Amino acid sequence: MNLTFLGTSAGSPTAQRNVSSMLLDLRQEQHGLWLFDCGESTQMQMQKAKFSLAKLEVIFLTHLHGDHLFGLPGVLTTRSLMQNQSPLTLIAPKGIKQFIETVIEISYSWLTYSLNIIELEQDRTVFEDERFRVEAKLLKHRVPCFGYRIIEKDLLAQLDIDKLKQDNIQVGSYYNDLKKGKTITLDDGRIIRAVDYQTKIKKGKKLAILGDTIPCQASITLASDVDLLVHEATQENALEDKAIERGHSTTVHAATIAKQANAKRLIMTHISPRYSLDDNNKLVNEARSVFANTEIATDFSTFTI
Ligand SMILES: [Zn+2]
Ligand SMILES: [Zn+2]
């Protein structure tokens, strides 16, 4: 799976960074595109990165501050112009339903596909199917703001049919027993251990995508042992007081959470407009002094998980 950052600026866009939005491409995992946050111009950023609105499957919003929300009306209504529409799920804190209904009504717009809205008020599992589970937890920001833990389930072992054929084993009526991992005795007396004919289990990936927050226990829980943590880093370390006062984190805060959670990799985003891309090295080095495997996102950067 690939994660592409469509916007990495905090609060307002700059000439170098658009506001918050990132896209998790799960098409190789038999899913669609999952969008996390939807700042202004997200549909434009999607076009530039060559992602189709029609392929959107779920939109997760961390919170309803404008820099994470104001791109949503455009994304939803333009999607109505696409061919081959599929249903879309929108998961966001309480209030999103009123926002969408109001925007649609006042602007004389409409949606031509089915939009399933899930409003969050507390910690809960927000998505589950055979392949993925997503859990949401309340973080600590100035308004209700959630972080998401995305868990790809382990792919269970399959029987290696070719190997069974090679060894001239007619599984027939034993198929289900072998699949369950049992040892069987064939009619000719041979004893067959399932473990010798199962393909390897593929471990699922885990990632945490957190919204705006000061450091908190919920962040550590969501990011526990993940392959990838996306954490905001609005300010540099020297501006810690300012960050906390406004409900945000610094580079060192993000790195400390990654370390405490035993995450494998950290990507920082939601960078204050006060910093230009020339400041990236300074910001990332601050974080690396605490957590070595840290990177800083720029618009259109893509990370493979
Ligand atoms: Zn923000
Ligand atoms: Zn915010």
Q: How far is the CA of 33 from the centre of ligand 1 (A)?
A: 22
166-189: average pLDDT: 83
pLDDT score of 11 more than 80 = yes
Q: How far is the CA of 125 from the centre of ligand 1 (A)?
A: 23
* Euclidean distance between CA atoms 233 and 239, whole angstroms: 11
Residue 12's region, left for phi above 0, alpha for psi from -120 to 50, else beta, is beta
Same domain? 110 vs 188: no
Q: Pick the last residue of a domain from 145, 177, 197.
A: 197
Same domain? 284 vs 173: no
* Euclidean distance between CA atoms 122 and 214, whole angstroms: 18
Same domain? 249 vs 269: yes
Q: How far is CA 132 from the centre of its chain?
A: 11
pLDDT score of 144 more than 80 = yes
Which listed ligand is nearest to 273 at the C-alpha? 1
Same domain? 101 vs 181: no
pLDDT score of 173 more than 90 = no
The pLDDT score that the predictor gives to residue 186 is 87
The pLDDT score that the predictor gives to residue 262 is 98
12-33: average pLDDT: 97
The domain total for the chain is 2
The pLDDT score that the predictor gives to residue 188 is 86
pLDDT score of 201 more than 80 = no
Same domain? 165 vs 187: yes
Look over the chain and give the mean of its residue pLDDT values, rounded to a whole number: 95
Burial string for 271-290 (b: 16+ CB within 10 Å, else e) reads: bbbebeeeebeebbebbeeb
15 or 188: which leads in pLDDT: 15
Which of the residue ranges 19-23, 191-195, 265-269 would you say has the lowest mean pLDDT? Answer: 191-195
Which domain covers residue 206, as residue numbers? 2-155+202-304
Q: How far is the CA of 62 from the centre of ligand 1 (A)?
A: 9
Task: Give CA separation, 246 vs 44, 66, 67, in Å.
Answer: 29, 15, 14
CATH number, domain containing residue 40: 3.60.15.10
pLDDT score of 225 more than 80 = yes
Same domain? 133 vs 174: no
pLDDT score of 175 more than 90 = no
Which listed ligand is nearest to 213 at the C-alpha? 2
Cβ within 8 Å of residue 299, ≥6 positions away: 5, 6, 7, 8, 16, 17, 18, 45
* Euclidean distance between CA atoms 194 and 184, whole angstroms: 8
Length of the chain: 305
Residues within 5 Å of ion ligand 1 by Cβ? 67, 212
pLDDT score of 161 more than 80 = yes
Same domain? 63 vs 149: yes
Catalytic site residues? 67
Q: How far is the CA of 64 from the centre of ligand 1 (A)?
A: 9
Which of the residue ranges 25-34, 159-168, 283-292 would you say has the lowest mean pLDDT? Answer: 159-168
Q: Which amino acid is at 15?
A: A
Cβ within 8 Å of residue 157, ≥6 positions away: 181, 198, 199, 200, 201
The pLDDT score that the predictor gives to residue 53 is 97
Same domain? 189 vs 89: no
Q: How far is the CA of 159 from the centre of ligand 2 (A)?
A: 49
The pLDDT score that the predictor gives to residue 134 is 98
Same domain? 100 vs 174: no
Same domain? 70 vs 19: yes
Residues flagged as binding site: 63, 65, 67-68, 141, 212, 270
pLDDT score of 177 more than 90 = no
Which listed ligand is nearest to 11 at the C-alpha? 1
pLDDT in tens, 23-54: 999 999 999 999 999 999 999 999 999 999 99
Same domain? 190 vs 249: no
pLDDT score of 285 more than 80 = yes
